[in-house]
Structure 1
């Protein structure tokens, strides 16, 4: 995962954001939200992948599926990820800090 995701200043709780700051780069609030949404999905995939890799390090494999082991390390890793800002909050912070690269892909309509 990018280290900037863990070291972000993104808020953990809901905050109000000035609409004019959000749509300033594109001039269109819907386009801006779409870009932030795509970045949020990327961050979510990265975070989930890293979380599952870390949890797998502490996994206890047992042939008896009825037994459930509470692994202290797994619980601590899970709690750490629960305390991180949500992906949409991180993505919006990146957007407002001009850290998201985007480009327009348009089909050529000339015949």
Structure 2
């Protein structure tokens, strides 16, 4: 997984040059499909990491009426909320040529 804490990915919306996005595949739809799949992977990784960190500070209690406000959990949650969104991280990886992909249709036609 990329180092999301030190990524250059933007936190807010930015306009990107379409030609930069589709240059590796020469097809904007294929590029977006690849970026989307990577964003889903990143989202899953971040969610897993967040849940593991929150679980470290969890206080279990038998009473459902007692709710503990855990400052560590709140800080961890705030940290993850401030990170760039998974789609921004995936686009940044794509622009930096850090996403491995292959076209299985091309491979099939070469083999056939």
Q: Same fold (TM over 0.5)?
A: yes
CA RMSD of aligned residues (A): 1.6
Residues 1:93 and 1:3: Cα distance change in structure 2 (over 3 Å)? closer
Structure-2 separation of matches of 1:17 and 1:67: 48
Q: Say whether residues 1:7 and 2:6 are aligned partners.
A: yes
Aligned residue pairs, count: 110
Listed as ranges, the matches of 1:45-84 within 5 Å are 45-84=44-83
Q: Partners in 1 of 2:32 and 2:108 — Cα distance? A: 25
Counterpart CA distance in 2 for 1:3 and 1:104 is 23
User: Normalised by the size of structure 2, how large is the TM-score?
Assistant: 0.92
Between Structure 1 and Structure 2, the one with more helix by share is 2
How many Å apart are 1:3 and its aligned residue? 4.9
Q: Tell me the distance in 2 between the aligned counterparts of 1:30 and 1:64.
A: 51
CA drift of 1:4 comes to: 2.0
1:103 aligned residue: 102
Deviation at 1:108, TM superposition (A): 4.3
Separation in 2 of the partners of 1:65 and 1:32? 48
TM-score (norm 1): 0.93
Partners of 1:80 and 1:17 lie apart in 2 by 26
* Distance in 1, Cα, partners of 2:108 & 2:97: 28
In the TM superposition, what is the alpha-carbon distance from 1:105 to its structure 2 partner? 1.3
The alpha-carbon deviation at position 5 of structure 1 amounts to 2.1
Unaligned runs of 5+ in 1: none
Q: Does 1:40 align with 2:39?
A: yes
